[in-house]
């Protein structure tokens, strides 16, 4: 007897995420480093909300900004958070070679299906929600990188209505000439420009070509010309094809683990620790079990990590971790430091102070 399969309409309408969004944390929901960053400017280059980096090039001006995770979002779209940039110190005269932007970098090995460098290179479509009191022309750059040779694709969008969420869609034609490296380094870089001097803004928008500086930000407004200026973004999605689909919401835990490939904080007790004396100095090593493998050997961000050493927690307290060597594998990160600790005996443990964290940074840097 034939078996008839009865479909469940409710189940049939559930859309499984397929990771079509190349951008990570496009809904701005993950903020491992914190939710507020003040005094940003003067040549700063740092990550803020996960995977989104503030960058400034050229001669720096007086402008400063505060970057926060905001709850101001487009109504009825399902978003809970956005990235907000607030000008706190104005600069009405931008230096000619100055440019400021928020960016995200994408690993080359995650982009091979776009078939760049072949006649079948696929277009990608970037969509995002943006809001500002400062209306006018803004620009977005895509930068392709192979062995350090950058190619530029620039586009413009307009914020038409002040203090109103608007959805923007930009399609980037696939590059048939530039093959993206198949490795864990930067393959494509996307930059949302916020201000630009004349050396960066006097040209015209362009498709894939040489990284002509004048074509990076044609007509770009100056978000720093008043301390009243704010700029918000959320719902950032980059996908193959020439049509923007609805934003792909991932479960919070999945989204966070994707971010943790590049940066993660490890809290106390998620480690194996040991120390041993060596003549007048002591060597110690700590093995932290990471929740997901890091992209590459990380640098240590240990601003809040404190630990006891000597007498099993009754000894002195050190306020930071200084590593002379760092080794990473699929299970975690081992940090080994040399220092003149006193009171240590062979194999004596290093014990973290309550609520201590240590950060491992494996972000993409050019």
Do residues 153 and 142 lie in contact, with contact meaning Cβ atoms separated by under 8 Å?
yes
Does the pLDDT of residue 11 top 80, yes or no? no
Lowest mean per-residue pLDDT among 16-25, 32-41, 57-66, 313-322: 313-322
Query: What's the rounded Cα separation, in Å, for the pair 111 and 167?
Result: 25
Can you tell me which residue has the tokens 């930068």?
143
**Tokens encoding 336:** 């080994």
**Tokens encoding 43:** 């040549």
Instruction: Write out pLDDT tens, residues 78-93.
Output: 999 999 999 999 999 9
Does the pLDDT of residue 3 top 90, yes or no? no
Residue 319: the pLDDT is 47
Q: Which helix (H) or strand (E) holds 11?
A: helix 9-12
Query: What's the rounded Cα separation, in Å, for the pair 366 and 364?
Result: 7
Mean pLDDT over residues 166-178, rounded? 96
- Using the 8-state DSSP alphabet, how is residue 348 labeled? B
**Tokens encoding 139:** 């620009």
Name the pTM for this structure: 0.87
Mean pLDDT over residues 354-366, rounded? 76
Instruction: Write out pLDDT tens, residues 298-328.
Output: 887 755 555 555 544 444 455 455 544 566 6
Give the angle subtended at the CA of 352 by the CAs of 347 and 357, to the nearest 5°.
130
Does the pLDDT of residue 218 top 60, yes or no? yes
């Amino acid at each position: 007897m034939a078996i008839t399969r009865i479909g469940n309409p409710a189940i049939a309408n559930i859309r499984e995420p397929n990771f079509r969004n190349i951008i990570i944390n496009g809904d701005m929901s993950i903020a491992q480093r914190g939710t507020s960053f003040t005094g940003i400017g003067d040549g700063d280059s740092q990550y803020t909300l996960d995977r989104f980096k503030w960058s400034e090039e050229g001669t720096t001006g007086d402008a400063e900004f505060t970057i926060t995770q905001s709850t101001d979002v487009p109504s009825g779209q399902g978003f809970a958070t956005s990235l907000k940039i607030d000008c706190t110190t104005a600069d009405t005269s931008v230096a000619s070679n100055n440019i400021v932007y928020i960016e995200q970098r994408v690993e080359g090995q995650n982009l091979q299906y776009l078939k760049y460098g072949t006649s079948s290179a696929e277009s990608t479509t970037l969509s995002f929600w943006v809001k500002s009191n400062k209306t006018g022309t803004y620009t977005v750059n895509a930068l392709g990188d192979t062995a350090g040779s950058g190619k530029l694709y620039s586009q413009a969008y307009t914020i038409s209505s002040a203090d109103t969420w608007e959805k923007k869609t930009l399609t980037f034609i696939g590059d048939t000439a530039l093959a993206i490296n198949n490795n864990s380094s930067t393959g494509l870089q996307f930059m949302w420009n916020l201000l630009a001097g004349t050396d960066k803004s006097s040209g015209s928008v362009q498709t894939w070509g040489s990284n002509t500086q004048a074509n990076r930000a044609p007509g770009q407004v100056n978000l720093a010309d008043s301390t009243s200026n704010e700029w918000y973004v959320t719902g950032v999605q980059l996908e193959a094809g020439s049509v923007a689909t609805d934003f792909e919401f991932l479960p919070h835990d999945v989204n966070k683990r994707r971010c943790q490939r590049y940066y993660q904080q490890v809290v106390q007790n998620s480690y194996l620790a040991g120390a041993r004396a060596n003549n007048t100095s002591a060597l110690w090593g700590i093995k932290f079990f990471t929740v997901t493998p890091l992209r590459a050997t990380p640098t240590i961000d240990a601003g809040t990590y404190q630990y006891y050493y000597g007498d099993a927690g009754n000894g002195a307290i050190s306020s930071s971790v200084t590593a002379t060597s760092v080794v990473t594998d699929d299970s975690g990160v081992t940090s080994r430091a040399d220092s003149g600790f006193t009171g240590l005996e062979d194999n004596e443990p290093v014990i973290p102070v309550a609520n201590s964290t240590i950060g491992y940074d494996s972000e993409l840097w050019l």
